[in-house]
């Protein structure tokens, strides 16, 4: 008996349809390419390999970030095994699904879905997507993990704007359940469905945003962080008291200054620049203290210094 012949009111038909939907998505997406081996790209690769169980090609222009990404992935899987979340055999099987490439041709040529996860710079992202478009199979979707940049603008750099979409993961990717989906003016319904299918395979919840600067999450989050930095720079309160006020007063797990360190002050600054430039409203002006920290190379936790100082391998090693 086929699924189509089962009466719609039968409970087991709904289960069969759900399974069929997942199988269809799995059959459509067998290989993904993640371009950018930083924190976000590494997390996306981990979840795609372990949860979605697809082959993952991680690509970066230099070997060093690829080596660091592989080491971070091995460490993450080891920690999950030590916590009893899955077995060593499962970890090994998942890691074997991930390969690392300097040459984009090796990473993209057979990919069904490409996720760009480079720095928050429109020209960098356009160059990557343009090159990926030239290499990728005709059916492949081009997704950007941008957190603020116009998807329509990024799609214009390719010959497949209808297959270009925003897929904004939250950090850290293995922990955070949300993915924002952003449709550019040319993005097709089929591309949106394929992207939703991949998110389902990765066991992520999705929200959909119009193609506006900052989308939903960073339209709300970044001005909040920026204002906290103004409060610090104006001497209203110490960094400890600012963060404590927000963690205990609003029941969030992390205060705005520590959160900025975790996200990356360079990323926060880049997003605020996009919001300020695109909206033309002074309320989005990046705090000068944020600009100074970025100019000094104090990008936050990833470099060991931001609003707090961090020791390697310690979650709360501030001084």
The response to whether 36 counts as a known ligand-binding position is yes
User: What's the token pair of residue 141?
Assistant: 């979707």
Retrieve residue 226's tokens: 């920026």
- The catalytic residues are 147, 168, 180, 218
Helix intervals (H) in the chain: 11-28, 39-47, 63-82, 88-95, 104-108, 122-135, 151-155, 189-201, 217-233, 239-250, 256-263, 265-279, 288-295
95 is in an annotated binding site: no
Q: Residue 226 in contact with residue 259, Cβ under 8 Å?
A: no
- To the question of whether residue 301 is assigned a binding role by annotation, the answer is no
Residue 39 in marked binding region: yes
37 is known to lie in a ligand binding site:
yes
Is 235 annotated to bind ligand?
A: no
Question: What does DSSP assign to residue 5?
Answer: G
147 is in an annotated binding site: yes
Query: Coil, helix or strand for 53?
Result: coil
Distance CA 199, CA 237 (A): 41
Is residue 41 part of an annotated ligand binding site?
yes
60 in a known ligand binding site: yes
Binding site, residues? 36-41, 60, 120, 125, 147, 171, 302
Binding site for NAD(+), residues? 36-41, 60, 120, 125, 147, 171, 302
């Amino acid at each position: 008996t086929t699924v189509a012949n089962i009466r719609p009111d039968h409970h087991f038909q709904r289960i069969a349809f759900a399974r069929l939907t997942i199988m269809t998505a799995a059959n459509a997406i067998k290989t993904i390419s993640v371009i950018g081996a930083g924190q976000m790209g590494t997390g996306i690769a981990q979840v795609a390999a372990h949860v979605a169980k697809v082959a993952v090609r991680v690509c970066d222009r230099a070997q060093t970030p690829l080596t660091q990404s592989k080491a971070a992935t091995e460490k993450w899987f080891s920690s999950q095994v030590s916590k009893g979340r899955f077995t060593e055999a499962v970890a090994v099987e998942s890691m074997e699904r991930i390969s690392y490439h300097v040459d984009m041709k090796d990473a993209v040529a057979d990919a069904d879905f490409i996720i760009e996860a480079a720095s928050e710079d429109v020209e960098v992202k356009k160059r990557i997507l343009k090159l990926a478009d030239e290499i990728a199979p005709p059916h492949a979707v081009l997704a950007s993990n941008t957190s603020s940049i116009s998807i329509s603008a990024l799609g214009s750099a390719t010959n497949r704007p209808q297959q270009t979409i925003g897929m904004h993961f939250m950090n850290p990717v293995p922990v955070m359940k949300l993915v924002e989906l952003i449709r550019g003016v040319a993005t097709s319904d089929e591309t949106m469905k394929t992207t939703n299918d991949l998110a389902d395979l990765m066991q992520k919840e999705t929200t959909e945003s119009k193609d506006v600067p900052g989308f939903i999450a960073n339209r709300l989050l970044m001005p909040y962080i920026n204002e906290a930095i103004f409060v610090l720079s104006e001497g209203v309160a110490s960094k400890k008291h600012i963060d404590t006020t927000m963690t205990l007063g609003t029941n969030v797990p992390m205060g705005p200054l520590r959160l900025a360190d975790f996200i990356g002050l360079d990323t926060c600054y880049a997003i605020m620049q996009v919001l300020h430039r695109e909206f033309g409203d002074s309320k989005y002006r990046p705090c000068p203290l944020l600009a100074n920290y970025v100019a000094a190379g104090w990008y936050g936790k990833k470099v060991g210094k931001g609003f707090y100082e961090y020791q390697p391998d310690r979650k709360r090693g501030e001084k």
